[in-house]
Chain A
Amino acid sequence: MEKTITNEKAEGDSSSEGLLSIKDLTIVYESKNQRLVALDHTTIEIEKNSLIAVVGESGCGKSTLALAIIGLLAIPPAKIDSGEIDYKSVNLVGLKEKERRQYRGTEIAMIFQEPLTSLNPVYKVGDQIAEAIVVREQRKGGQPVDSDIEVMQKTYRVNAPDFPSRLPRIRRGALAKLLREETLDALKRVRIADPEQVIDRYPFELSGGMRQRVMIAMALAQKPALLIADEPTTALDVTTQAQVLKLMKLLMNEVNTSILLITHDLAVASQVADRIVVMYAGDVVEDAGVYDMFTEPMHPYSKGLLSCIPSGSKEKTRLKPIPGSVPNLAIEQVGCKYASRCPNVMNICSTKRPRLIEAKPKHKVACFLYGE
């Protein structure tokens, strides 16, 4: 059967190049009466062929980060105050929508938490994958990408004999057949057992795990360099989650994609990630290789998160929950945002904000315990 997944990249292979670089990104949500800082000077590097897990609880800004990268943030009320997202020497921040579309889907793809609402319920699953393929071909040919509606309509007309060929190098006659073959390939790639059946099914006829696989197939149909997965397994059963995570790791190597995994579950992150980025209230508080993170977690919040995970039985260990709660991001914070809950808090913590520093090689932390 499948060979076991290798962990080659886990140690932060120095030969891996950078793929996407988030520099000093600050995103705020502004409404009539308040200004909420969702991301606060966030800096993260994503390398090629690696799986980075961004871990944090609700409100830490991880979803905002994902949407900002792929350009699906609702602006307004969101506003990108400062910073850049560098992808292949292009700054994605401030791109016009038309230019955005060159990247969204082709280079950077995304899958979401709830597969039922991510798939269009009135189109067959196979057609939705074919749509993704059609868009890819259009982009390859340097053609301007049509708006979503037009693409979907084209996909349907593909099977009609009078389909006007706007796709380069795909001739009218063999078009439908080719698309179908590619779609079947996409389904096989996500290890769906009976692609001939599934291709003609509607989303509601499939289980949660299958739908998520279809989503992955759609995302990968365009062979993106980066796949963003926003809590992809939270809505799935434990056994299905394991299968989907396994699949994602496997495909990473097959398709040469990096994965940015957004999750609240540190355990899930530890099982699949090469590197873990811990976020708290809009800040990156720690950024380390997965083994480093678990050998020596540096930030008090990371340590707190680890001690929250129930393990063993209640007789032997008592959970040490983190006292207090996440600060209100609508109020301007002075000093370290974690200070009010930190067991190691010092005087300086309430006056200055700690910067993200490389306390050890390839292990960054934003905490005064490790210097300024």
Chain B
Amino acid sequence: MLSAQRTDEDEDIVESNPSRSVRIWSLLSAIKSNGGALIGAIIVGAFVIIAIIQYIGQLFKIQVTPYNPLKQDVGPPLAAPSAKYLMGTDQLGRDVFSRVLWAFPNDLRVSVIVIGFSLIVGALIGSYAAFSGGLLDEALMRVTDIFFAIPALVLAMAIGLALGPGISNMTIALMIIWWPPYARLARGEALKISHQNYIEAAKLSGAGKSKIIMGHALPNISLTLVVYASLDIGTVIITYAGLSYLGLGVKPPYPDWGEMVSSYQDFMLSSPWLPLFPGLIIALGVIGFSMLGDGLRETLQSV
């Protein structure tokens, strides 16, 4: 009979070295406790809900806005904001509020796709580089550097010229140059854990490189990457808004925030609400995501 000591340590466990990988529910409670993150989460939540509603509406051709955003002359042109027209009307008599609502899915769709792609591609490239070392590591990182060096706007404009403007083409353009920082970050984090003993133990369990990356590396670096991504979404929003401002985004008459700022800016002095509201919405979106991301990052660091 084995006389191994039964440890009664359990009643007295003081949490030793709480790991950085916090579980989902504790993440949510962390958001609640951090004021900034809470505000950010509310804003983001609102944006996401509105975007989903609008997207479904557009998909099934149901109008979910107060007025038809494309219809001209629903009211007097250049009317100031009022109870009837919450954000006023533009020079063609269209309801600005409806247009702003309609454009919600655009920016968010682009962000989600670009960030999602960058997360996946970056995480894979970065962790494979970290766990391969040597020549493969160098090669992958140099490829990353090459993509890193491409300026976003220039590439987008080139693609706009070659393939034509539009939300899909811009999404592709952004996907091409957005992932390198994720690869770098993933590689750094993966390198950190590659020296941990549980990775060695996994090797002693017969795991090959892929199994180690999928089973151990990715789960443990995912939190850092996700926090970085949450801060990054705001940047995609504003980049796409910039492209749309330059005319490379959704084509008129369909509304798009950046494009609205561009076409309304001539009315800045006479009807300032026109460029103001779409601009504010862009800013609010970026702020919301940034506050959420910042709050998450603070929580991670305090653990």
Contact = CB atoms under 8 A, between A and B. Distances in A.
Contact of A323 (B8, B11, B14): B8
Nearest to B9: A325
B5 A328 contact: no
Contacts of B5: 321, 323
A327 B8 contact: no
A308 interface: no
Contacts, number: 20
A326 B13 CA distance: 9
Chain A contact residues: over half helix, strand or loop, or mixed?
A: loop
Interface in A310-332: 321, 323-330
Contacts of B12: 325-328
A328 B9 contact: no
Nearest to A329: B14
B7 interface: yes
A340 B7 CA distance: 13
A328 B12 CA distance: 5
Contact of A328 (B7, B8, B14): B14
Interface string B1-42: 000010111011110000000000000000000000000000
Contacts of B9: 324-325
B8 A324 contact: yes
Residue of B7, B11, B13, B14 ringed by the most chain A CB atoms within 10 A: B14
Contacts of B14: 59, 328-330
Nearest to A32: B33
A33 to B, nearest CB: 12
B14 to A, nearest CB: 6
20 contacts: A59-B14, A321-B5, A323-B5, A323-B8, A324-B7, A324-B8, A324-B9, A325-B7, A325-B8, A325-B9, A325-B12, A326-B12, A327-B12, A328-B11, A328-B12, A328-B13, A328-B14, A329-B14, A330-B14, A340-B8
Interface of B: 5, 7-9, 11-14
Given A328-B11, A328-B14, 17 more contacts: A59-B14, A321-B5, A323-B5, A323-B8, A324-B7, A324-B8, A324-B9, A325-B8, A325-B9, A325-B12, A326-B12, A327-B12, A328-B12, A328-B13, A329-B14, A330-B14, A340-B8
